[in-house]
Amino acid sequence: MAFALSAERERELEEIVSRYPNRMAACIPVLHFCQEQNGNWVSDEVIEYVARKLDLSTAHVKGVVTFYTLFNQKPVGKHQVWVCRTLSCALRGADRILEHCEKRLGCRAGETSPDGKVTLRTAECLASCGTGPMMQVDKRYYENLTIEEVDRVLDRLTKG
């Protein structure tokens, strides 16, 4: 089935596009907007839709999707957990946090938990270098993490 937006979301999309000097410049925010509606991932149908809406080639849009890690190229869990692995977080125990998340969730970084609730990721920098180790859950930061705090966060995601 082809990807489509509702009439209201189409108006929102055009409002987004109107903020940019040309349609190509709106590619990233339009992809984010469509990814959100599509269950938080960018399918081939979404790529075709964005290309058509912005008068771009599908190759250009696919190139944007494959370049940026914030675009999911396959379905993901209800929540996404990003563990920062930059040097400052690594020095304060990010590897231990990631290993604990993998054990608790039953999946490795880049995979989704067997229950489909959480996709675990790593990031090279989440711009919170003074408060590591840290992780981002959906759009919220958790900083100065301990294993106990990680457990509390993961419990809310998996049991809630």
Per-residue pLDDT of the chain (160 residues; tens, 9 = 90+): 689 998 999 999 999 999 999 999 999 999 999 999 998 999 999 999 999 999 999 999 999 999 998 899 999 999 999 999 999 999 999 999 999 999 999 999 999 999 999 999 999 999 999 999 999 999 999 999 999 999 999 999 998 6
User: What CATH code is carried by the domain that includes residue 47?
Assistant: 1.10.10
Q: Name the domain count of the chain.
A: 2
Judge whether 17 and 23 are in contact, CB under 8 Å: yes
One domain, residues 154 and 84: yes
In the prediction, which pLDDT does 70 show? 85
One domain, residues 20 and 92: no
DSSP bridge pairs for 120: 81
In the prediction, which pLDDT does 19 show? 97
E strand or H helix that includes residue 54: helix 44-54
User: What CATH code is carried by the domain that includes residue 144?
Assistant: 3.40.30.10
Residue 154 placed within a domain = yes
Q: Could you tell me the residue range of the domain that residue 25 belongs to?
A: 7-67
Residue 73 placed within a domain = no
One domain, residues 104 and 150: yes
Residue 11 placed within a domain = yes
| Burial of 18 (C-beta count, 10 Å sphere; 0-12/13-18/19+) | exposed
Report pTM: 0.80
Residue 104 placed within a domain = yes
In the prediction, which pLDDT does 69 show? 84
Listed residues 45, 67, 89: the one ending a domain: 67
Residue 23 placed within a domain = yes
One domain, residues 52 and 122: no
Spatial distance between the Cα atoms of 136 and 21, rounded to a whole number of angstroms: 32
